[in-house]
Amino acid sequence: MTDTSQTDLAAMMCSRLCHDLLSPVGAFANGLELLATESDPAMRQNCVDLLEQSAGIATNKLKFFRLAFGAAGGFGDRVPAAEARELIAALAADKGRIEMEWALADANLAKPAVKVMLNFAQIAVDSLVRGGTLMVGAERRADGAGYTCEIVVRASGPKVAFDQTLGHALEGTLAARELSSRTAAAHMIHLLARECGGTLQYRLDDGALMLGAILPEGEGLIG
């Protein structure tokens, strides 16, 4: 497909962010409205609990999007793997009924690798419509030009729902007319992988979704 303009892609990413934040922010507003009119102590406590839950979900999503979509200015070229793990765990917890498995071999990862991992995790979490298991793995391997980061995210469960248009976006074969706020993040990490000289892959079979990436880091990112 012809590359979408940066302006169009940014607009679609903003639409996705607003869509995902609308529910917890709306629940927060409803909680405040109820709290202002409720006098029963038990009901007021329920309102406070709702506010705390909604604020926590919104905060987790903002932290996730900051690193998955944005520049994440609080980090350098490398990001602690524990930070990515915490964000993915919170994403899965918000969804509910998802068990986590981890295989993170390194203490820190290049920022492009973390962006790909987080976006893979979001696709995988969204696919587990009835819960299941999410496995996230990443490992850096030495090669002649420096290091290559290999990322694998696997989602398995009683029902795994995956729209093939997301797969086409990951591969860079999605028709321009099909690019939307729903597929923009997948297209973004396709462009990111291409800039790094890497590749993205996906496979859906036997009740499991596999997402994989190979991202060369180069000599300048070995540290």
Residue 137: inside a domain, yes or no? yes
Residue 1: inside a domain, yes or no? no
Share of the chain above pLDDT 70, in %: 94
Identify the band that residue 109 occupies on the pLDDT scale cut at 50, 70 and 90: very high
Q: Mean pLDDT over all residues of the chain?
A: 89
Greater confidence, 59 or 73?
Answer: 59
- pLDDT for position 175: 84
Q: Domains in the chain: how many in total?
A: 1
Summarised one tens digit per residue, pLDDT across range 131-175 is 999 999 999 998 777 899 999 999 999 999 999 999 999 999 988
Model pTM?
0.89
Residue 83: inside a domain, yes or no? yes
State the Cα–Cα distance between residues 222 and 92, nearest whole angstrom.
31
Q: How far is CA 165 from CA 15, 186, 187, in A?
A: 18, 10, 10
Q: Where in the sequence is the domain holding 17, given as residue range(s)?
A: 6-221
Summarised one tens digit per residue, pLDDT across range 50-65 is 899 889 989 999 999 9
Query: What's the length of the chain?
Result: 223
CATH number, domain at 100?
3.30.565.10
Summarised one tens digit per residue, pLDDT across range 201-213 is 999 988 899 999 9
Identify the band that residue 221 occupies on the pLDDT scale cut at 50, 70 and 90: very low
Q: How far is CA 37 from CA 34, 104, 120, 214, in A?
A: 5, 48, 43, 55
- pLDDT for residue 3 is more than 60: no
- pLDDT for position 63: 92
Residue 15: inside a domain, yes or no? yes
**Average pLDDT of the segment spanning 5-15:** 83
- pLDDT for residue 49 is more than 60: yes
Identify the band that residue 17 occupies on the pLDDT scale cut at 50, 70 and 90: confident
Summarised one tens digit per residue, pLDDT across range 74-99 is 677 899 999 999 999 999 998 889 99
